[in-house]
Structure 1
Amino acid sequence: MTLPNASHATEHAPLHSPSAWVKRWSHLIAPGADVLDVACGSGRHMQWLASRGHQVTGVDRSPEVLASAGRFGAVLEADIENGPWPLPGRQFAAVVVTNYLWRPIFPVILDSLAPGGVLIHETFASGNETVGRPARAEFLLQPGELLQVCKDLRVIAYEDGFLDDPERFVQRIVARREPDSAAELFRASLGHTLTS
């Protein structure tokens, strides 16, 4: 399956364009909501989400890239592969993960979703070893893997296939943690907390 690409044009942006997948589905994030960008790099998705009015937190292990990402929100330097999760117990209205795979933190990513929260995840998939890097199996999602990870969430969109610009195999998903009650659903749709 060949997946659709979006335009790579930017308006004088200093960073690479945000992922077409993130742009396509970010409208599902409640207005003004708190968003977590895992392995945020220099902040291309933080910039996109902040421009839409969200409060963004980025996590990465590189202080050099965080210096750039810090322009768009809060940043935390943390080696999430070898150290503790830097935001224990904190939940977000959305979690964004792109071009990053570390399977041991899947449960932490899911736990970081507030009720009604949206996961937007896209990374390299099996088959990518035929066209470039990454090529090692530990960095490539297996067929249906994100569906299995999100089995307890409501899957809104899922794709697994080939993109041609640049050539790569990707798997991507958008899934929502169902609210625990009608009141939480209402709060999630408004993007703010109601008081009793």
Structure 2
Amino acid sequence: MSAAASEWFSTWFDSPYYHRLYQHRDYAEARQFLGRLLEHLHPHPGARLLDLACGKGRHSRYLSEQGFDVTGVDLSAQSIAHARQFAHEHLRFYEHDMRDELPYGPFDLVLNLFTSFGYFAEEAENVVALRHAADALRPGGKLVIDFLNTDLAIRQLVAHETKTVDGVTFQLHRHLQHGFIVKDIRFEDEQDQPQHFVERVRALTRERFEEYFQLAGLRLAETLGDYQLRPFDLATSPRMLFVLKKQG
């Protein structure tokens, strides 16, 4: 089931303005987190890793540099086209919708990082995506889902924000709507034409995730609360980092 053009992520993630808005992201911090995570999970040298929703492949490249065999997949055709310039024998990239079966495994470790989940309009599609990820794991393999702590995120939601990046002023409006955290993004492009995009991430609680995991045949091994891998605390942790194992 390929993503329809009406799905917000199928257009926004391919827009050059998406990458412009988020160019400030701290990739050095992200690499430090990945290093800690690998040390925590200790996959064996040469293990097969899947970067599920890899974007332009920056983190896949780092994982490959650590000696792992890495496959990166993403829905965005433009992101995958960019990532493929860095491909080599132990690093490959494919355009892929996580709701479709993964034919590239089996993997020792599947990573879905930096809130790259919960975008779909139909809740059942989240479980389908998790089942496909589980099916792509070797026996004893692990899956890591990195999601925001929705309880804290909703309490701290910034309703309006203005950001100017490289001469483009973005007006960002955030609100909770029908079980989704919604970010409304408006700006004028370089031809002074008004543009409007929306990000929608389902406000998934820890309990709802646990229901998903059971339906997908995954066992929750531990829940961590931030990129320093401290234990999860509902009141204070910025993230929900789920470490899962395939059942059976």
Q: TM-score, normalised by structure 2?
A: 0.53
| Deviation (angstroms), 1:20 | 5.0
CA distance in 1, matches of 2:64, 2:35: 12
Distance 1:69 1:31, change over 3 A: same
Report SS of the residue matched to 1:90.
coil
Distance 1:140 1:20, change over 3 A: farther
Distance 1:94 1:60, change over 3 A: same
Contact 2:223 2:243 in 1 (8 A): yes
Indicate which of 53, 69, 74 corresponds to 1:55.
Answer: 69
1:153 equivalenced with 2:219 (yes/no): yes
| Deviation (angstroms), 1:105 | 0.7
Letter in 2 for 1:40: C
- Which residue of structure 2 aligns with residue 124 of structure 1? 148
- Which residue of structure 2 aligns with residue 16 of structure 1? 27
- Which residue of structure 2 aligns with residue 26 of structure 1? 38
Distance 1:89 1:79, change over 3 A: closer
Letter in 1 for 2:135: D
| Identity percentage of aligned residues | 24
Q: CA RMSD for the aligned pairs?
A: 3.0
Distance 1:51 1:146, change over 3 A: farther
CA distance in 2, matches of 1:148, 1:50: 33
Alignment of 1:58-77 (within 5 A): 58-70=72-84, 71-72=86-87, 73-77=91-95
CA distance in 2, matches of 1:20, 1:134: 31
Which structure: larger Rg? 2
**Per-residue deviation, residues 92-131 of structure 1 (Å, max 9, x unmatched):** 0000001111413111112221112121220123232342
CA distance in 2, matches of 1:19, 1:150: 27
| Deviation (angstroms), 1:173 | 1.5
Letter in 1 for 2:240: Q
Can you give the 5+ residue segments of structure 1 that lack an aligned partner in the other structure?
Answer: 1-14, 164-168, 181-196
**Per-residue deviation, residues 109-162 of structure 1 (Å, max 9, x unmatched):** 122211121212201232323425695255232123444444543604433455
- Which residue of structure 2 aligns with residue 190 of structure 1? none
Contact 1:43 1:69 in 2 (8 A): yes
Distance 1:60 1:105, change over 3 A: same
Contact 1:117 1:176 in 2 (8 A): yes
CA distance in 1, matches of 2:175, 2:59: 21
| Deviation (angstroms), 1:45 | 2.1
CA distance in 2, matches of 1:68, 1:114: 29
Letter in 1 for 2:51: D
RCO higher in structure (CA 8 A, sep ≥6):
1
- Which residue of structure 2 aligns with residue 173 of structure 1? 242
1:110 equivalenced with 2:128 (yes/no): no
Contact 1:25 1:120 in 2 (8 A): no
Distance 1:60 1:49, change over 3 A: same
Can you give the 5+ residue segments of structure 2 that lack an aligned partner in the other structure?
Answer: 1-25, 119-125, 159-173, 182-200, 226-231
**Per-residue deviation, residues 37-86 of structure 1 (Å, max 9, x unmatched):** 111011232022101111111111112211333315211112335xx33x
Q: TM-score, normalised by structure 1?
A: 0.66
Contact 2:150 2:205 in 1 (8 A): yes
